[in-house]
Homo-oligomer: A and B are copies of this chain.
């Protein structure tokens, strides 16, 4: 019943992701979006709700499509390898030549007006979820003797995520893959070994 939609919502969502990723949440206007997506304002609102809803859906898509490597990385045999795969994989996302540089989660709303505070908090919450996954991985590593028992998994998860955040800011500023690889090279040198 009714007329058919003349655009592909999934394709449109991919386009929205590109725009949001380059400009952040507040830096992107509805006009920016409709222009890039090739649809009209009412079509956008009918298909995706409001700007905030649309951003959350692009966030979901981003995690599903670009951050999915993390789940696999965490399953590496050793904790060290898991972390290294995490950081190297993240570099690929940050510098993907087909997407604007940087991370949607970081570019999204580091600082913003009061109006988009909910989005900012959503991004912070999602970041914490990911950091906790890494911490849990390190905890099982410790239980399995793959991570020193006198080291705090939370400390190391925090460290690794901080490196990631730093790289994300750098990438958004135009850092090259090679530059970021060297950051990881140095960062991994502090990785603790299990005394035996």
Q: Do the beta carbons of B173 and A159 come within 8 Å of each other?
A: no
For the complex, what is the distance from the CA of A102 to the CA of B156, rounded to whole Å?
21
Within 8 A of B (CB), among A1-50: 22-24, 26-29, 32
Number of A residues, CB within 8 Å of B: 48
Q: Do the beta carbons of A183 and B169 come within 8 Å of each other?
A: no
Give the contacting residue for A183; candidates B124, B159, B172; CB below 8 A: B159
- Chain B CB within 8 A of A196 CB: no
Q: Do the beta carbons of A169 and B172 come within 8 Å of each other?
A: no
Q: Please, which residues of chain B bring their CB within 8 A of the CB of A159?
A: 182-183, 186-187
Give the dominant DSSP class at A's interface.
Answer: helix
Q: Do the beta carbons of A169 and B173 come within 8 Å of each other?
A: no
Q: A23-B111, A155-B182, A166-B163 are in contact. Are A124 and B174 (CB under 8 A)?
A: yes
A residues with a Cβ closer than 8 A to B are 22-24, 26-29, 32, 102, 106-108, 110-114, 116, 124, 127, 152, 155-156, 158-159, 161-170, 172-174, 179, 182-183, 185-190, 192
Can you name 13 A-B pairs with beta carbons within 8 Å?
Answer: A22-B111, A23-B112, A26-B26, A27-B112, A102-B110, A124-B174, A155-B182, A155-B185, A159-B182, A161-B166, A165-B170, A187-B187, A187-B190
A102-B111, A163-B163 given; 19 more Cβ-contact pairs under 8 Å: A23-B111, A23-B113, A23-B114, A24-B110, A27-B111, A27-B113, A27-B116, A32-B113, A158-B182, A159-B182, A159-B186, A161-B166, A162-B183, A165-B169, A166-B166, A166-B167, A169-B169, A187-B187, A188-B190
